[in-house]
Structure 1
Amino acid sequence: MVCQRALGMAALPWLLAACSTAAPADMVERTIDSHFAGELQLLRTLQLQPSEPLARWQGRYGVYLRDQATGSDFMVRLEPGEGAEALRDKVLVARAASREFVASQRAALAQLQRAGVQGDFFSLRALSPLYGSMRWSIAVFADPQALHKDADLLDEAVLRAFSEVVHLDPDPMIDIYPASLKPAYAQPLAKGYHGMVEFIRGAPETFMQAQESGGDAHWRLGAQARPAPYIVSARQPRLRAACYAEIEAMRRHNHLLQRHRIYLEPSRSLLEAYQIPARLQAQGLRQGHTAFALLDRVQGRMVLRGIVAPDAFDAGDIHAVSGVYAYDYVFATGELRVRPLALPDGVLASP
């Protein structure tokens, strides 16, 4: 059978792409039925296909199981030549680890619920093998059409709750996904947490993969909005001062900061969804890449306010920019307003 899904970051053993195979299926099915009937549900057996740096994983299988006691899924890796006894022992160990993991996820979920978080969301708090520290990810689903009606993306009660959650330990990474993606994430949404393994769009996703994902998200909610320090270099001091003065004003006067001490920053996916880079480029801003942006309310309108500083390819300095511009994108009307903040000496303002 063909691959169910191409998994990213294939250079890590826990992020292996999986393709189905029937080679050990009969043995696996017999073993699960014999030792775990009524306790575990066999979901599928997939052959792990490693990338070239992980050729040692060649021939391994992933056996995906659902624990009927918790409703959560987990996986065991089967080595080439391993039989029923080895599989049984691995399943016992993996099931115990999964139940411990589920208990910790339910505790994290309860903490969020006590803070008042509600609606469509799921949580994942676990030790990251990649970073060696605890990480807490929260995926929230919201209807982007609210912005088109000049309404807040999240309910007032949810915003108040997250104004507390952002200060929990470890600092949660709160990503907001469009509500249209809820069917793809139905499995973790139903529980309120991400288990050791979840099937997303029909393909298995480990909790370690989920910690490094977020590509589908449109917004990041946080207590701070830190611009990159290199949007404009010190070699252009006047432009740099104008750039960071505008960013500081955007942050200080942001309506979400003033009401809830939080910010909403857009992802690249959001910018592309509204064709903002392309529209900036069409207005003469060369690459049209954006340097900093926040969701805000301006004169009753929900607006994306941002900074763009196009590279000056012909300036003889690889760090130079051709100017600093501010833009407002009005969600209700689709209008994109651009104004120059600062330009190099002798350059006329445009657009």
Structure 2
Amino acid sequence: MRDFQEIKTHGHAVRVHVDPEPEREARPALWPTIGEYPIYDQFLYKTMTTDDERNRRFRAALAKLAPGRRVLDIGTGQDLLWARESLQAGARNALAVEVIDDAFHTAASNLAALDQPDRITLLHGESTTLQFAPKADVCVAEIIGSLAGAEGAAAVLTDARNRHLEPGGLVVPHRAATLAAAVRLSDLLPGQPIAFAESALPYLQSIFDWHGRPFDIRLRVENPHADALLSDGRPVELLEFNGDLRTEQRTTTRLAITRPGHVDGVLTWLNLWCLPDEEPLDALRMTTNWATIYFPLFDEPVPVAPGDVLELTVTATLSDDGIHPDYHLGATLQTADGGECYGSLASPHHGGPFRAHPIYQTLFPTA
């Protein structure tokens, strides 16, 4: 296979650096982030419906909360998964909402084939614009990203709590957090080029087609080497779906360097609680369809040693669609000998620059 391939989108020819080795189980792979864009296909739906680590937690929450209640399933998908699971858990009925056209039409066909289709009402559109009655007692929404808020969960579920849930209604999941640790990208992909997996190219093109032009997409790392982390992991985003849920937030944390190496960015990953007191799903250390997200911060890798500290600020603000957040990261690396190094990255949901950082110049070479 060639190391470089070309994709075309809206008149733009984009050269892409591609890993010449095929993907294998447990081998690290670089992809674009995909969950926050309307590009779902059969493969992506299958990875979610067969995610045992995720599904058993959602099922346990519904078994506790759904019996005898009316359930709202936002982002039900083509399989009406959580609407159906809610009924199996004892819900009185379910309202399922899907915005993606193809997924809605497939869901409608699947609904008609169910034994009791009248117990599920399927609606097409965005939950933030739809009106319906009566209100629900429980809202289940698997719109959590590998970066916890990236799929718009804060805005969507704030609206659901305000307009679609009865007073005292509950949301599943209960809480989501994004953690971050200092890393060097090449350590996450040992012995491999900084390049996209070949199977990721159709999704990369679909995202660029959806937006209308290429941009510096967030980078999803599958099966990263966990021993590549150079610091402890600390929360940089917290979504309390049944508490103080903020659609915009700013978090500053200090990542203590625990072993020598070089840092050029941070790796982020999801922790998820479907019930308040359970052990969280940890996307870095458990097998799940959620992956880790790498953000470059420094133009060149910076040497670090135990005793150094990376002070990291992550800001999430709503993008121009009012749903998906744009992220901005700012970092100060403070070395034990008093030195400082500064880095930053603007990571909008869509738009923004293309090839602005050396990592993206490597991934999308011009020649």
- What TM-score range do you get, normalising by the shorter chain? under 0.3
Instruction: Tell me: higher relative CO, structure 1 or 2? Use CA pairs within 8 A at least 6 residues apart.
Output: 2
- Of the two, which has the highest radius of gyration? 1
- Greater percentage in strand: 2
TM-score under structure 1 length normalisation: 0.25
- Greater percentage in helix: 1
